[in-house]
A and B are shown apart, each in its own frame.
Chain A
Amino acid sequence: MTRSPARLRAGLFAAVAAVSVLSRCGGSGRNEPPDPGPGAKVLNVYIWSEYLPKEVLEEFTRRTGITVHYDLYDSNEPVLEKLQSGVADYDIVVPSDYMVRILIELGLLRPIERARLKGFENLDPRFLDKQFDPKNAYSLPYVWGTTGYGYNRVKAGRAQDSWAPLFDPANRGQILMLDDMRECFAAALKFQGHSLNSTDPGILRQAADLLKRQKELVKTFNSGDYANILAAGDVWFAHGYNGQLAKVAAADPQRFAYVLPKEGATLWMDSVCLPRRARNVESIYAFLSYILEPEVNARIVNGISYASANIPARKFIRPEILNDPAIFPSDEALARCELIEDIGDATTILDEYWTEIKAQ
């Protein structure tokens, strides 16, 4: 789940952030941060829940004597709000792709000094140099996944491999879609054979028409609890992020499966970033190098069941995770996936269509 379920809250967080920056305009707000020096033997991490296994942290503390404090969040917007408040003492945050871009644009991140960290070469080039941070000056890929759908194998009758059932009138009232504009358009665009970052008005119009027809088949739009709703049997098909859906499928493989549709889907990435005001710099680089170590990285993947972008780590990842196509899709399947990118003015067109669809 990389997007906030509450758009209102997201907007308000952003508004607050803007206000808090304005209120400090002319102050130290826009200057370069002072050199913080080596910092203390602590590290304050702000990260998605279940992204850091406890034993991985304990070993870090054993090896380095650095104490890790960590707090958890459930959507990207609190990261923006905390960093803009200027008074949150985090050293490491792990925002999603689009949020990395926003944080960079707002000048809230500190560049990563590559010379101070070991193991950058372990990272898979397929996850580097993305639009949100073209030279990886500010971010290192931490985990990644896809947005497909989970389905009830008993009810669906047959094995699925396409976006088609989510648009099939035969499944009326049995479909759950993410309450997320870009993700819904991504499903429609990919199903119609287009890039999910298409900006052509004709193509977007076709996708919107498909989503309008789909609307009456959809039982509910939900971005928070989709996996539980599928597991409870309330819908047969649930659009969603692979993490939670793969867990449902792994818990009851007879009944549930995750599909990364053959037409392609969204690739999402959560990246490690350093807030501009981060102070414990020595601890930060010790930690970054630590989590880039293949064995440590594999222990993270084994603990959280999300894919990482660390190539030599794969040797140490448990086979049932490495071979689970819901977590590590094949190279061909992954090649058909795309990150959701900033599509500029086309966003306005999508916004209008989305309002029409939701108001229908």
Chain B
Amino acid sequence: MRRRGRWLGAYAWLVYLFLYAPIAILVVFSFNKSTQTAVWAGGTLDWYRSLARNELILASVKNSLIVGVASTIIATVFGTLAALALGRYEFRGKGITKNLLYLPIIIPEIVIGAALVTFFGVLALHLSLWTVTLAHVVFCVSFVAIVVRARLSGFDRSLEEAALDLGARPVQTFFRVTLPLIAPGIVAGALLSFTISIDDYVVTSFVAGVGATTLPLQIYSMLKVGVTPEVNAVSTLLLLVTVVLIVIAQRLQQPPGEGVRD
């Protein structure tokens, strides 16, 4: 038993090493003096300083945040509504609706991008930051809906029935019973949606227009002259923000008095 435990532990460490070593290297190299990303030449904070002056990268971070927040809000509202409808009502075409909801996840991103740019072309909708946001909503809705549905599947309907029995109106029941119970699922879906939006390259590259360069597009375009440690620096900061967000979200998900879950 002990032996197996030790092997399992070693295996687990290896898996974590595999997952996190590249990220650790990226963080370390963001403090690298050399302009070449693969050669270590001593520590420096210069890349963070030049980052603070690089208007292009800062503008792209701003664009990414605008798109991430806007598409997350829209996708969370519609994804949650879709999950509720599918989770508790029977209606004609429910099976198809359910499958259609999974489509944006299954279809290759490049096809979604292609389809969307054609669609926008037909609508004569000029490419901008808003077309990027709309495009992100398309696939984010699915992720939110799936996460929220998973939460709903373990939902105890008798709690809602009790609320209604005790005189709460349906709207009150929704906001005071249902919503707080599925909130962790909604927050998790929103977070997932935000992270997917922030790092999307393929779809974005199709639908971005004037002034809509997001951070992944910016980083890719810099490949022409080689990835500088500035990119490592901005990625490190983004990583930091994401980690902080996730920690906050996990705290929020814990009902008071309860220990760590999930």
Residues of A within 8 A of B (CB): 1, 9, 12, 15-16, 19-20, 23-24, 44, 48-50, 54, 69, 71-74, 78, 81-82, 85-90, 224-225, 227-229, 231-234, 243-244, 247-248, 251
B211 at the interface (CB under 8 A from A): yes
Residues of B close to A227: CB separation below 8 A: 226
Residues of B close to A229: CB separation below 8 A: 38
Q: Across the A-B interface, how many residue pairs have beta carbons closer than 8 Å?
A: 114
Within the assembled complex, what's the spacing in Å between the Cα atoms of A16 and B225?
Answer: 28
Residues of B within 8 A of A (CB): 35-39, 55-56, 110, 113-114, 117-118, 120-122, 124-127, 131, 205-206, 208-213, 217-218, 220-227
A89 and B205 form a contact (CB under 8 A): no
Main secondary structure of the interface of B (DSSP, over half): helix
Residues of B close to A69: CB separation below 8 A: 210-211
A24 and B210 form a contact (CB under 8 A): no
Supplied contacts A16-B113, A88-B127, 13 more A-B pairs, CB within 8 Å: A20-B118, A82-B127, A86-B121, A87-B117, A87-B209, A89-B127, A225-B223, A228-B37, A228-B38, A228-B226, A231-B36, A244-B225, A244-B226
Residues of B close to A20: CB separation below 8 A: 117-118, 121
B61 CB to closest chain A CB, in angstroms? 14
In the complex where A20-B117, A23-B122, A72-B217 touch, is A232 in contact with B223 (Cβ < 8 A)?
Answer: no
B120 and A50 form a contact (CB under 8 A): no
B213 CB to closest chain A CB, in angstroms? 5
A248 CB to closest chain B CB, in angstroms? 7
Within the assembled complex, what's the spacing in Å between the Cα atoms of A61 and B221?
Answer: 24
Of the residues A86, A90, A243, contact of B225 by C-beta under 8 Å: A243
B110 and A74 form a contact (CB under 8 A): no
- Most-contacted residue by chain B among A23, A73, A229, A251 (CB, 10 A): A73
A19 and B114 form a contact (CB under 8 A): yes
B224 and A88 form a contact (CB under 8 A): no
B210 and A44 form a contact (CB under 8 A): yes
Residues of B close to A12: CB separation below 8 A: 110, 114
22 contacts between A and B (CB under 8 A): A23-B122, A24-B121, A24-B122, A50-B222, A50-B224, A71-B209, A71-B211, A72-B213, A72-B218, A74-B223, A82-B209, A87-B124, A87-B127, A87-B131, A89-B210, A90-B210, A227-B226, A228-B36, A228-B37, A231-B39, A234-B38, A244-B226
